[in-house]
Each structure stands twice: as C-alpha cells, then as structure tokens.
C-alpha cells in the first residue's frame, strides 16, 4: 500500500504491466522469413538468409522493439526491476505455444562476467525461467557460457556484430539429441543467437530454435537495447 508497483511500460501506478500496455503489444506474426523471422511481403526465406543462412533452425520475436515493451525491457535491464521478467513471460506464453516447436530445453543467452558483476543478474534469465516453468520445459540457466568478453552490439554493422560474437559462447552441458530454445531479450541481426547455436550444435543439440522478446526492425536503424 505504501509502495504500489508502477507499470514498466507507462509508469502508471497500480500494476507492474498494466492492461493498457499489454493491449499495445504488436505481435510479430503474419508473413515472416521462415528462418530469421523478419517481416516480408510473403512467407518465404529472405534474401539474406538464402545468401548466408544463420545457424539456428528458426528465430521468432514476440513483438517489435518499441513503445511500452522497449520501456519495460529497459526497466528490467537497467533499473533492477526483475519482476518485469515474470510479467513479460506470462504474456508471451500463448505466443510460444502457437509456434508449436518441439522444445526439450530452454537456455538464456548469458552475460559476460564483467556485465554480470555490474548488474548482479542476467535479465534474460528473468524472462526465460518463468517462461520455461509455464511451458513445463526444462530450464538450464548455464547451458551456455560466455567464453570471451564482447563489446556492446549497439551501433555495430551486421558484419561487425557477427565478428564481435564469433566463438563467444561455449555449451555448458551435453545436449545430445535435444531440441533447444535459446532466449534473448532483443534481436537485431540474429548474430548473437546464431553464434549461440554453433556452440550448442557442437555439444550434440539436435535443433536450436531462437526466441526474443522483441525485434529491432531495419527501419529502426539497427538500434539495440
């Protein structure tokens, strides 16, 4: 009563993720690239994936990286509002079920050691764990490990992003024959998730699917959280 929660999307007092902000979420569906999930005029494989296919089986994002969702992710990431992870995961459950992917294990993209020390928690895990519980899928918090520190992806070109995260991950456990869902908060080019998939395939994963809360679309100027 003394300290009521405020909405991560609009700041209104009374709830962590208000009904109005939930209603403003733009579900990213319809005609998408079958591989990277980029919106297209018709459902097919986009030119970039045809020329240089990412290593994951498929990538999908729940919504577009803008508006209330962008605000909520920043609150989770930079303002230590870890409860936003539960709120976002709860609204994403139906979307993930409709993908109908045969998932055995859910793994969050890990932070580097320095960023983890600074932040104290992995914001992606705050979303991935409750999502795994809701879907009744095994959650492996250390299924991926950062094998090298990388610079921020903000402002980097697609090629620079790919080089930045090349060989940046190692699998933390054997994944023989498992269908893995790797989760991150925001995707732009998919380079981080593709590099994650390489590490998991090297440890026996059968298929690696990728999911993010939001997608920064090309007209956003490749801006990343």
Q: What is the pLDDT along the chain (225 residues), one digit of tens a residue?
A: 456 889 999 999 999 999 999 999 999 999 999 999 999 998 899 999 999 999 999 999 999 999 999 999 999 999 999 999 999 999 999 999 999 999 999 999 999 888 888 889 999 999 999 999 999 999 999 999 987 766 565 565 566 666 666 767 888 888 899 999 999 999 988 999 999 999 999 999 999 999 999 999 875 443 333
* Residue 135: φ, ψ to 5°: -90, -5
- Kindly report the pTM of this predicted structure: 0.89
Q: What is the pLDDT of residue 220?
A: 44
Residue 208's DSSP bridge partners are 180
pLDDT, position 69: 97
Q: What tokens appear for 112 in the block? A: 């580097």
The domain spans of the chain are 26-220
Asked whether the beta carbons of 81 and 73 are under 8 A apart, the reply is no
Token code pair at residue 90: 């709860």
Other beta carbons within 10 angstroms of residue 77's beta carbon come to 19
- In the numeric block, the tokens 């023989």 are attached to 176
At residue 180, the 3 state secondary structure works out as: strand
pLDDT value, residue 43: 87
In whole angstroms, what is the distance from residue 20 CA to residue 71 CA? 14
Map tokens 């079920």 to a residue: 97
Query: What class does CATH assign to 26-220?
Result: alpha beta
């Amino acid at each position: 009563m003394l300290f009521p929660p405020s909405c991560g999307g609009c700041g209104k007092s009374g709830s962590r993720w208000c009904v109005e902000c939930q209603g403003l979420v733009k579900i990213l569906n319809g005609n998408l690239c079958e591989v990277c999930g980029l919106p297209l005029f018709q459902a097919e494989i986009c030119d970039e994936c045809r020329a240089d296919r990412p290593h994951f089986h498929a990538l999908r994002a729940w919504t577009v990286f803008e508006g209330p969702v962008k605000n909520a992710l920043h609150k989770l990431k930079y303002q230590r509002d870890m409860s936003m992870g539960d709120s976002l995961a709860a609204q994403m459950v139906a979307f993930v079920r409709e993908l109908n992917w045969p998932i055995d294990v859910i793994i969050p993209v890990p932070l580097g050691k320095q960023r983890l020390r600074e932040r104290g928690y992995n914001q992606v895990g705050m979303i991935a764990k409750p999502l795994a519980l809701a879907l009744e899928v095994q959650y492996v918090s250390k299924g991926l490990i950062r094998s090298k520190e990388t610079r921020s992806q903000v402002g980097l070109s697609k090629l620079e992003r790919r080089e930045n995260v090349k060989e940046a991950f190692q699998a933390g456990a054997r994944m023989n024959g498992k269908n893995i869902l790797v989760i991150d908060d925001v995707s732009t080019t998919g380079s981080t998730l593709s590099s994650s998939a390489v590490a998991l395939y090297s440890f026996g994963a059968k298929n690696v699917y990728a999911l993010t809360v939001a997608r920064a679309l090309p007209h956003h100027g490749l801006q990343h959280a």
